[in-house]
Amino acid sequence: MSRDLPVDLARVFAVVVVVVVHMLMIGVGLHDGELVVTQPLQQQSWYVPATVFGQVMPLFFALGGFATMTSYRRHEPAAAEFIRKRTLRLARPSVPVFVVFALAGWLALLLGVDPHLVDLILQGAGTPLWFFAAYLLCQACAPVMVRLHRWHPLITFAVLAACAVAVDTARRQSGHVSIGWLNFFFVWLFVQQLGFVYADGVFQRRRWLTSGVFVASSALLAVLVVNRIYNTDMLYNLNPPSVPLILLGIAQLALLVLLHPLIDRLMRARAAQVVVFAIGTRLMSVYVWHITCLLLVSGVALLIPHGLPDPGSAAWWASRPLVLLATFALIFLISLWAARFERVPHIPDGLRAPGLPWVLAAAAVAFAPMFAITDWGMDRWLALAGLVGLVVTLVLLRPRVP
């Protein structure tokens, strides 16, 4: 099966958009000689409507589902083999950055840095890590979800959607936000299933249906937010995830199908393929390191007189292109070293992979601290817990003697 180059471009586009949004959302500056961290992007009048276009993670999860289904069609991997490889592809690139998180957090405390400031910076650095927990959950459930899709895709979609609506309703009526975390399961699995449908080619064969799906999902999303049933801010709807992300994922995937011929012509250019390949082969490294790189660039700016304009000021916005360029350059340099961790080592002859119980246990150990960071925000203790969890995960997934 030939590669779907528009999908490769869409995956890279989604991650780059997330990186840029996070860079604009975190403002590091000085106020009366004190280091402060603010969120200037959220103070803009156009921020909320812009989140409808900037919230691209549903598309990324749907494309992850496409990759999962195509993998199954190539060689039908055993559940243990599939989950082990996907867990390693998430855990291995995350270990080095968690070493930095844990060391920096505790070393700053020992050097007498204000603990509140340390935790505030760590909380910002840990913001993207919800993705680790959500994507790992989807990948661990993928073998079961592939079987359900093959059995009856419509029933699978209907059950997941009904459960997501029920969770949101219970959350809204009870006032307990914690209930919404059940949709960490239902919403993201629904979006992953969209990728299975894309892999089936249903929408590609019926473009009239795709156009109708795009219009209907967009219209329903507009009705839900205009009538204040859900928040207009799509980043607010992210954690805990809620039904608007389902509709956004449907609309984004439908739009990708409609634009597929145009994007395919673009991707025939050698230069486009080189750029997409260069970023696409190190996506996880780009994602897990980008906040750290932004903080490092901001730290260097502290050493430059007037190098940190007031976040949100005209000077701050004028400096963003240079900051973005410096941050992306640093991400690229780090990825030259870090990308090696994205490759899953082959199992040596004479050894075997661990069985399904060990693989599921490893996935659970990696998931737990990441989910805690998603819910509570990262601090020194959770940074350490995340590092320990990842190391234990790698130990549980190591090859062993038969």
Which residues, including other chains, have CB under 8 Å from residue 178's CB and lie 6 or more apart? Answer: none
Cα–Cα distance, 19 to 23 (Å, whole number) = 6
Residue type (1 letter), 328: F
User: Using one digit for the tens of pLDDT, what is the confidence trace for 117-156?
Assistant: 788 888 888 888 999 999 999 999 999 999 999 999 999 9
33 pLDDT above the threshold of 70: no
| Contact call for residues 330 and 293 (beta carbons, < 8 A) | yes
User: Using one digit for the tens of pLDDT, what is the confidence trace for 364-378?
Assistant: 999 999 999 999 999
User: Using one digit for the tens of pLDDT, what is the confidence trace for 332-357?
Assistant: 999 999 988 998 988 988 889 999 99
What pLDDT, on a 0 to 100 scale, did the predictor assign at position 172? 94
Lookup result for tokens 């949004």: 21
User: Using one digit for the tens of pLDDT, what is the confidence trace for 284-299?
Assistant: 999 999 989 988 898 8
Average pLDDT value for residue range 229-242: 94
pTM of the model: 0.93
| Contact call for residues 125 and 292 (beta carbons, < 8 A) | yes
For 400, the 3-state DSSP assignment is strand
User: Between 308 and 255, whose confidence is greater?
Assistant: 255
H or E, element range at 47? helix 47-54
95 pLDDT above the threshold of 90: yes
Average pLDDT in the chain: 91
Average pLDDT value for residue range 225-237: 94
Kindly indicate the confidence band of residue 194, based on its pLDDT and cuts at 50, 70 and 90: very high
Domain boundaries, the chain: 5-396
Q: What is the DSSP letter of 240?
A: T
Residue type (1 letter), 52: V
